[in-house]
Amino acid sequence: MAGQHRPADHSLGDANTIGGYAAVHARPAAFEGSDGHSYSVELCADTTGERAHPWGGYILFLRWRRVGAQGVEGHLESDFLVHAATEREALARVGALSLATVREQLELLIRERHGGQPPARRWWDVMKEEE
């Protein structure tokens, strides 16, 4: 149910990993990026085309709207971060990444989107200027 608070169940995993966090808290992890946007995390796997490691795991960061109706307004997608023999193994491996590693990946993708630089102006800075 949306908006329902559930207590963390630390018996379900390591909350310091991205997959463990989702299991322990019964919701995906979310981060605020340096661009001022909120991002939730989806763990994904797909075929790689490589015989030795046919599956790769990656992260899809869903960017949420700041204003107006709640919803997703875009996304950032990492390259394959892990490789595996099966889809399940790829998801497990990407799920074992630390929260810090996932946050670093988000910031890398934000910088890439902004030409290799951190965002120049955050949304709250623009709002202050308009006042």
Select from 103, 89, 98 the least CA-distant residue to 17: 98
What is the predicted pLDDT for the residue at 130?
Answer: 53
| Chain segment 40-70, per-residue pLDDT in tens | 999 999 999 999 999 999 999 999 987 777 8
Residue 120 reports pLDDT greater than 90: no
**Residue 6 placed within a domain:** no
Residue type, 74: G
**Residue 26 placed within a domain:** yes
**Residue 65 placed within a domain:** yes
What is the predicted pLDDT for the residue at 88?
Answer: 98
| Chain segment 80-95, per-residue pLDDT in tens | 999 999 999 999 999 9
Q: What is the largest CA-CA distance in the chain?
A: 58
**Residue 1 placed within a domain:** no
**Residue 57 placed within a domain:** yes
**Residue 3 placed within a domain:** no
Residue 11: band (very low, low, confident or very high) from pLDDT cuts 50, 70, 90: confident
Residue 34 reports pLDDT greater than 70: yes
- Pairing type for strands 38-47 and 30-32 reads antiparallel
**Residue 5 placed within a domain:** no
What is the predicted pLDDT for the residue at 20?
Answer: 93
Number of domains in the chain: 1
pLDDT, mean of residues 88-107: 97
For 23, the domain range is 11-130
**Residue 27 placed within a domain:** yes
pLDDT, mean of residues 2-13: 79
